[in-house]
Chains A and B, each alone.
Chain A
Amino acid sequence: MVQMGQNDHEAIRAVLSGDKEAYGALVVRHSRTLFRVAFRITGNEADADEVVQDAFLRGYRKLETFESRSNFGTWIYRIAVRCALDRIGGRKADDDSRVADEDDREQNEVQVADEAAGPERLLLSSEIGAIQRAAMHGLTPTERSAFVLRHMEDCTTEEIGAALGIRPNAAKQAVFRAVQKLRRRLAPLRVST
């Protein structure tokens, strides 16, 4: 049973002193936050669960490099974002044959129609979620992660840059490109309404 009551830094010190069980408190405390961001980036529940486990596993292995001045929550959150990024990066490569290039607008529209059987119907049904997922799927992993962190996780440009390992300006541009692409994909639906 996981022992609660320790703060993050006490738990980390205990783990590094040989008390493996102390890491359980950190896992319990931060799992749901990690699952939330992992799901938003991957868009898949099973993937998000695996990202959470992978992130805590990586965090455990790198725990000696954790600086006591840092916030463990922020640190493990960034690891989870990287894990999610890796996961959608690898998966995207597998799915490239299914997803058209986002610059080919006509093809995109056709693809959306194929997947959801027409914009009017999509607007009237719960399948709008599928359209969104398809739009998100058309983003690069970095754009997708940047958009999720900015739009859904309310991260600042600096925080996004730190999480993705890029400069703040590059993070800002990634968000900008992501929004542009998403709007382009949603344009047929908007026109239809």
Chain B
Amino acid sequence: MKHLTEEELIGQAYGEGAGGVALHLEACGECARGYAELKSDLAEFDRAEPPYRDEAYGERVWQSLSGSLPVYAAPRRRWFGVDPIRGLSYAAACAVLVALAFYAGRQWEIRKAPVTASNNHPQTKQPIVVVVLGDHLDRSERLLVELKHVDAGNTEMVSPLRDEARSLLNANHICRKNAEKADDPALEGALDHLDHLLTEIADQPGGLNAASITRIKNEMNRDGLLFEVRVLRSRARDQGPSGTTHLNGGTT
């Protein structure tokens, strides 16, 4: 029979023995004697009772201590009244919220950017003015060509010319004002002539008739207005957006 070790006996004495230890002690007289000796030895130390201390002992200890203890300062108010770890959590949450707000703002800006830029950025105004000028010159050229070939006796063909002339007058005023600001005398002169002609077509007292159309045609041919408009249109097209800074500030 394998006997119990001293460690197993000590464990048993302190209630930490394995289940088999108790069974072995019942069956093995030698181990049981050894266990009894151990318990006897340990019992010798049960007598070690400390000296008595009365109820006032704690008070005496406190009296001897109190004079040497500093007073704790009243607690400083922590950030938002929470402990540091919770404070850091709040800070992290705030940082995430700020980051999200920033990201959302950026996305909103990016989506809105084309509209905003076209309205406010000077570099993007120029193409619009150029387009308007080129378009205006295009339309003006078509009007002049139609006028050149119109049958003066056919009032049905004349009526659309008058409407188109009225429509072009406003755009022509704007383009002329820009040309004046940009100090472009060639454009300004051509648009002056065009303005005069458009006004005659649009506001001919009593409406356009064969005589007035013939007179206007002659006036156009004499001034070389059609040629002049073609040249300006070609120039505007060649210069493009970057070559038309003199038109800056124009509006539709």
User: Interface on A for B, CB 8 Å cutoff?
Assistant: 2, 15-18, 20-21, 23-24, 27-32, 35-36, 39-40, 45, 48-49, 52-53, 56-57, 60, 63-64, 128-129, 132, 136, 147, 150-152, 157, 172, 175-176, 179-180, 182-183, 186, 190
Asked if A18 and B74 sit within 8 Å, CB to CB, the answer is yes
User: B-side interface residues toward A, CB under 8 Å?
Assistant: 6-7, 10-11, 14, 16, 37-38, 40-42, 44-48, 50-51, 53, 57-59, 61-62, 64-66, 68-75
- SS of B interface (majority): helix
Pair B68/A57 contact, Cβ less than 8 Å:
yes
Sample (8) of A-B pairs whose CB atoms are under 8 Å apart: A20-B69, A20-B72, A23-B62, A24-B59, A56-B61, A176-B7, A179-B41, A186-B41
Distance of A190 Cα from B51 Cα, bound (Å):
27
Considering the chains assembled together, what is the distance between the CA atoms of A24 and B62 in angstroms? Answer: 6
Known: A60-B65, A151-B42. 6 other contacts (CB 8 A): A28-B58, A32-B53, A35-B53, A56-B65, A152-B45, A176-B7
Contact of A53 among B16, B40, B65, B75 (CB under 8 A): B65
Distance, CA A184 to CA B51, complexed state (A)? 27
Indicate which residue in B45, B50, B72 contacts A63 across the interface (CB closer than 8 Å): B72
A39 and B50: CB pair below 8 A?
Answer: yes
Shortest beta-carbon contacts, A-B, top 4: A28-B58, A31-B58, A39-B50, A27-B62
Please judge, given known A-B contacts A57-B69, A157-B16, whether A179 and B58 are in contact too, CB under 8 Å.
no
Question: Pick the contact of B75 from A16, A36, A176, A180 — CB < 8 Å?
Answer: A16
- Shortest CB-to-CB span from A61 to chain B, Å, is 9
